[in-house]
Amino acid sequence: QIAIGAKKDEDFSAWYTDVSHFGVVLIKADMLDYYNVSGCYILKPWSYSIWEIIQRWFDDKIKALGVQNAYFPMFVSQKVLEREKDHIEGFSPEVAWVTRAGQSELEEHIAIRPTSETAMYPYYSKWIKSHRDLPLKLNQWNSVVRWEFKSPQPFIRTREFLWQEGHTAHLTREEADKEVLEILDLYRRVYEELLAVPVIPGVKSEKEKFAGGLYTTTVEGFIPTSGRGIQGATSHCLGTNFSNSNMFDIFVEDPNDPVGKAKIYVWQNSWGLSTRSIGVMVMVHGDDQGLVLPPRVASVQAVVVPCGITAKTTDEERKRINDKCEELAQSLRAADIRAKADLRDGYTPGWKFNDWEQKGVPLRLEIGPQDIAKNQTLTVRRDTGKKDPVSLEGLPQTVSALLEDIQKDLFIRAKETYQERVKAITKWEDLVPALDNKNVVVIPWCEREQCEDDIKERSARAAEPTDERAPSAGAKSLCIPFDQSKWDPVEPGKTKCVACGQDAKRWAMFGRSY
């Protein structure tokens, strides 16, 4: 096999990102091209089609929950953006500004939205007057700009990215709490059911939550090759932090107090999933041959390649084989399988095999004269390389079943790896070695922010002169998993925090991360 010029386990950054190698999985799979503004990338059809599949699935689901799509301007005025210091505090270096149009300076600088809370909520205040206007549930499919300074990585960390951002307003906390978890489970399903990527749902620590919110729930992914955790998507309850009278003043009259007209400030949620999810899928499933696409998000699920055609093959024989390939592809498409016959002239079957393997197409069907004679085709799985001759009788059903097996096996394999790499740690001295062995850890934790800072500091890999390995960042808290049942229960007042010895509250996941 013609490898892509970088081995995943040997040089992950070259495999995934490093433009100088150009042997990179994203280029070889024709997913993107680099762009002449740093931190920005062109999403070519091979990756954009993945986003479209995610979009279609998620959009259907939120519409079933009564969410409507809308569109707000990408420009946010300075006074509105900086309405509340602690919402914007710590973020402001990332905000990109429009300061000039043509030759004329703008009086007031205008921000490009880094997220849309402050663009939307003045209008939530204007539109929401009575409890009958609730719940208000709007979503945007758009792009946002964050001028990140950490090194950019395609899909994972880019200065502009596509996402959806949902913003809802509710009369009661109960209704808001319920929706936060409903959306989070849709995010879990996008990862696990579409992208075949396992994630761990949980709640963020006070330090890691969205500063302007009340609490943040998250689905946390894991990249085995780097041993780093990655935030997959977040669903926040904002409480009344954005609706209160100092902020956007979004209230209704208490329906149970028609006379007193007590003000009820609305309970808000906001939730987002971005094209980062595509990068996570590439990193989790890709191999040294390149991209490996889960069938659910593959724009081509099965590629039919004619074989046995040589320079000596007569024109009518070549036509007979090509027609058979096209006929098979059509029969698969008729059964809603995204199939394509690769009838390109001037390329050998081997070249075509390599090309579609680099693009991650889940299944290949090889058809030569002997196969036609035996009314069969040779199926080749991209995930395992397994080859099986199958009858052309009932081919659509056979291929559908194969694609479901591939989808399931990709997920199971990734889930088993993730589970192996989550180490339950009860002694501090075992923590850093576990991280150095490309694991994330779960520990009984006190949940104090000071302790979190200490863990980050104490778990950075020492940059000792003797330590030839690159220094690495310390562990951040990734989430407090909702499912605590996998580990010995924390006994209040008895179980101690692994890092500081104070009373532990729950098991928390920590890890080096993106």
Residue ranges in contact with ligand 87C by CB under 6 A = 88, 91, 94-95, 114-115, 146, 165, 210, 234, 236, 270-272
- Tokens representing 501 are 């010895």
129/178 with CB nearer ligand 87C = 178
Number of neighbouring beta carbons within 10 Å of residue 49: 16
DSSP string, 334-382: HTT--EEE---TT--HHHHHHHHHHTT-SEEEEE-HHHHHTTEEEEEET
Distance CA 90, CA 88 (A): 6
Q: Would you call 498 helix, strand, or coil by DSSP?
A: coil
- Tokens representing 23 are 């042997």
99/256 with CB nearer ligand 87C = 99
211/424 with CB nearer ligand 87C = 211
Residue 201 contacts residue 186 (beta carbons within 8 Å):
no
For residue 395, the 8-state DSSP code is H
Residue 110 contacts residue 127 (beta carbons within 8 Å):
no
Q: Would you call 5 helix, strand, or coil by DSSP?
A: coil
Closest distance of CB 310 from ligand 87C, Å: 56
Distance CA 31, CA 26 (A): 5
Residue 299 contacts residue 45 (beta carbons within 8 Å):
yes
Closest distance of CB 178 from ligand 87C, Å: 18
Closest distance of CB 148 from ligand 87C, Å: 9
Q: Would you call 22 helix, strand, or coil by DSSP?
A: coil
Closest distance of CB 129 from ligand 87C, Å: 24
Which residue's C-beta sits nearest to ligand 87C? 272
87/352 with CB nearer ligand 87C = 87
Closest distance of CB 238 from ligand 87C, Å: 9
Distance CA 92, CA 86 (A): 10
Q: Would you call 38 helix, strand, or coil by DSSP?
A: coil
272/279 with CB nearer ligand 87C = 272
Closest distance of CB 26 from ligand 87C, Å: 24
Residue 489 contacts residue 452 (beta carbons within 8 Å):
no
In degrees and rounded to multiples of 5, residue 481 shows phi and psi of: -60, 135
Closest distance of CB 285 from ligand 87C, Å: 25
Residue 204 contacts residue 216 (beta carbons within 8 Å):
yes
Specify which residues 142 forms β-bridges with: 163
227/272 with CB nearer ligand 87C = 272
243/270 with CB nearer ligand 87C = 270
34/97 with CB nearer ligand 87C = 97
Closest distance of CB 193 from ligand 87C, Å: 21
Closest distance of CB 118 from ligand 87C, Å: 8
Cis peptide before 73 (omega within 30 of 0): no
204/285 with CB nearer ligand 87C = 204
